[in-house]
Amino acid sequence: MSKSEMIWLALSFGMLMAFMLATGYQTFALEMGPPSHGETIDPQKVDETAPFDQPGIKKIGENEYEVVMTMQIFSFNPSDIEIPAGATVHFILTSKDVTHGFQVAGTNINAMVMPGHIQKITQTFDRPGEYLVLCNEYCGAGHQLMSTTINVK
C-alpha cells in the first residue's frame, strides 16, 4: 500500500470517528437525540384516557396554550386551531389508529405520531398567519386529504 493511501485511509477513519463521537456526545450528553418511548398509551383506549378523553385547546397561562390532539384517518381533532400571535403552544398528540405525521409549515415542527405513543411539542407562534398542518406519513387512501390549519391572529 502506498503512503498516500495510508494517509487517506487514516484521515477518513479519523473523520468517521470524530463524527460518531460528536453525534454520540450530542445525543447522550446534550440530550439532543429524538425523544422516543417517552410516554405510552393504550391505542385502543385513547378516547377514555386523559387527557385525550377531552381533546381541544386550553388556555393554561398568559398567552400559553395546551392543545390536546388525537389523530385518526384522515383528520386532526381538534382541527382549525385559533390562537393569538405570540402564543406558546404545547401540543400533546397521539394517534388512534396508524402512524401519522404532524408537520406545521413555516415552523420547525415535524413529528411522527404513532399509535401507543404520546408526542409532545412546544412552539411559540410569533408571526400572525395561517399555518398549514400536514400529515406527512403515508396513512392510507385519504392521506393526501389529511390537513388542517393553525390560525395565528
Residues near ligand CUA (CB under 6 A) are 74, 100, 135, 137-139, 143, 146
Nearest approach, Cβ of residue 25 and ligand CUA (Å): 35
Would you say 74 or 107 has its CB closer to ligand CUA?
74
**Cβ distance to ligand CUA smaller for residue 57 or 73:** 73
Q: How far is the CB of 22 from ligand CUA (least distance, A)?
A: 34
Tell me how far, at minimum, the Cβ of 136 lies from ligand CUA, in Å.
7
> Closest distance between ligand CUA and the C-beta of residue 89, in Å?
20
Q: Which is nearer to ligand CUA, 65 or 148 (CB)?
A: 148
Nine-digit cell string for 147: 390537513
> Looking at the DSSP assignment, which residues form a beta bridge with residue 40?
117
Identify which of residues 87 and 113 has a Cβ nearer to ligand CUA in the complex.
Answer: 113
d(CA 111, CA 116): 15
Nearest distance in Å: CB 38, ligand CUA: 21
Nearer to ligand CUA, 87 or 115 (CB): 115
HEC readout, the chain: CCHHHHHHHHHHHHHHHHHHHHHHHHHHHCCCCCCCCCEECCHHHHHHCCCCCCCEEEEEECCEEEEEEEEECCEEECCCEEECCCEEEEEEEEECCCCEEEEECCCCCEEEECECEEEEEEEEECCCEEEEEECCCCCCCCHHHCEEEEEEC
